[in-house]
Chains A and B, each alone.
Chain A
C-alpha cells in the first residue's frame, strides 16, 4: 500500500460545488502539505501543517481551506469550485525539521476538473 494516499484519484465537478480532497499517510510524519500543479508549471503550495494544531497558508490559499483531523489525515476543501481550480493536486509529507527530515514524499495526485 502507498505511504501517502489521496482520494479520489479523479474528480469532475461543476462550478459552485463544494468538494473535498482527502489525504492520509502511514509514514508517521508530522508535516503535511497540499500542492497544486498546472500544465507546464511547477508545483505551488496551497497550505501546510506542521502538526495537528498548526495550519499555515501557502502562496495560493485563496479559495481553499484545509483541515488536519489527525496526524495522519489532511484534507483540502474547495468551498465553491471555479473552473480555474482545474488542476492536478498533490498531498505531500515530511518528517520534520532539519536536514534529511525535510525530504518531501508525495501521494499519487488527484486530477480535478471544474466545469
Chain B
C-alpha cells in the first residue's frame, strides 16, 4: 500500500524563525491534507491541497503531485505553532482511506 513519510521527525525553532516540513508519498494520491495537532491533542485542518500552492497567513503549502511530495512552510514561527504536524494522503486503490504520516513534532521556543 501507499507509504507516507514525513521529515524531519522533530524540529526545534526559535520564535521568529522559518521552517519547511516535507511529506513524501509513494504512489499517486487523490488528495492530500495537512493537520496541526496542538498540545491539547486537537487536530486542526490546515490545508486541503491535492496540487498547487495555498497560503493562509504565515502558513503555506505546496503539493507537487507528479513528484509525490508536499511541503508545509511556516514563516515567523510563534510559540503557538508548537505541536505535531501531520500530512494525510487519500488513496482509492484498494480500501478507500487516508494514510497518515508519523508527523513532525515542532517546538517553538520563546
Contact = CB atoms under 8 A, between A and B. Distances in A.
A107 to B, nearest CB: 9
B83 interface: no
B89 to A, nearest CB: 11
Contacts of B102: 40-42
A104 B45 contact: yes
A64 interface: no
Nearest to A106: B43
Given A104-B45, A109-B41, A59 B97 contact: yes
Interface residues of B, number: 21
Given A43-B100, A103-B48, A56 B95 contact: yes
A88 B100 CA distance: 15
A100 interface: yes
A108 B97 contact: no
Contact of B103 (A42, A45, A103, A109): A42
9 contacts: A42-B103, A43-B86, A43-B88, A44-B100, A45-B98, A59-B95, A90-B43, A100-B48, A109-B41
Interface of B: 4, 30-31, 33, 35, 41-43, 45, 48, 86, 88, 90, 95-98, 100-103
Minimum-distance CB pairs A-B, first 9:
A42-B100, A106-B43, A43-B100, A103-B48, A42-B102, A45-B97, A109-B41, A100-B48, A42-B101
Interface of A: 40-45, 48, 56-59, 88, 90, 99-100, 102-106, 108-109, 111
